[in-house]
Amino acid sequence: MKLPHKTLEKKLFKSGYRLIYAVDEVGIGCLAGPVVVCAVAMTNQFYKKAHKKLRWLRDSKLLSAKQRERFANQLLMLNTECLTRVVYCHPKTIDKLNIYQAARQAMKRAVQKLTRMTLVSYKGHPCIVLVDGKTKINGLNMEQMPIIKGDRKVFAIACASIIAKVYRDKMMVRYAKRYPGYGFERHKGYGTKLHQAQLTSLGPCEIHRKSFAPVAKLL
């Protein structure tokens, strides 16, 4: 199995960058629930250590729920070497902006929240944002590097994907209690056969994305 590598980050630190931000989103294709973004800020100190418990870390989609939870907990314990911030956009915002713009808005907010945390220590030092995807984040006045399939290629982005996924899954489990019958605790809002069957039977609830075709046709 090909794992995300740390080559890019190490090269960036070696060339003079003092802090690397990485950002990824989860929940783009869901019919219900928020789109969730995590931004991480990695220091060179992080990459100087082996972190054996993170050895098999990879894109969240390639891990089981238990593996994601374990890796997320390990990352959150490293709060002096790896700072994190999670931001999300609710379905109403997604319907208003469209899913791509909502995700990008959340990415921008997540990175900005992190920069406010790190500004005192790293103000004036070269920093860069590694963005999962093919385009930069509009309105973010920082150096950026978009990377297609970055969550599978770059270690820092894979870390962000795991924390975002674990956070969102927990949100959907809570929503399952508030909106019973849809099975949110099982499919997490994705358009599975179970979800679409229950959606047809019960009709859309408050957290369904009404601009998405399978939901819109039932309104």
Cα–Cα nearest to 130, from 50, 10, 1, 2? 10
Under 8 Å between Cβ of 65 and 169: yes
Residues 92, 26, 84: CA angle, nearest 5 degrees: 105
Cα–Cα nearest to 8, from 162, 155, 159, 161? 155
How far apart are alpha carbons 190 and 60 in whole angstroms?
Answer: 15
Does 95 reside within a domain?
yes
For residues 93, 97, 100 and 105, what is the CA-based torsion angle, rounded to 10 degrees?
-70
Does 131 reside within a domain?
yes
Which 3 state secondary structure label does DSSP give 27?
A: coil
Domain membership of residue 131 as a residue range: 7-216
Under 8 Å between Cβ of 102 and 127: no
Does 191 reside within a domain?
yes
Predicted confidence at residue 116, as pLDDT, reads 87
Does 1 reside within a domain?
no
Contacts of 208 (CB under 8 A, 6+ apart): 31, 32, 91, 199, 215
Under 8 Å between Cβ of 32 and 207: yes
Predicted confidence at residue 159, as pLDDT, reads 97
Does 2 reside within a domain?
no
Predicted confidence at residue 125, as pLDDT, reads 77
Q: Which residues pair with 85 in a beta bridge?
A: 39
Domain count of the fold of the chain: 1
Does 40 reside within a domain?
yes
Predicted confidence at residue 119, as pLDDT, reads 62
Under 8 Å between Cβ of 36 and 20: no
The count of residues in the chain is 219
- Can you read off the two tokens belonging to residue 82? 């790896």
Q: Which residues pair with 82 in a beta bridge?
A: 42
Predicted confidence at residue 205, as pLDDT, reads 97
- Can you read off the two tokens belonging to residue 153? 């290629």
- Which residues in the chain land under pLDDT 50? none
Under 8 Å between Cβ of 168 and 23: no
The CATH number for 203's domain is 3.30.420.10
Does 179 reside within a domain?
yes
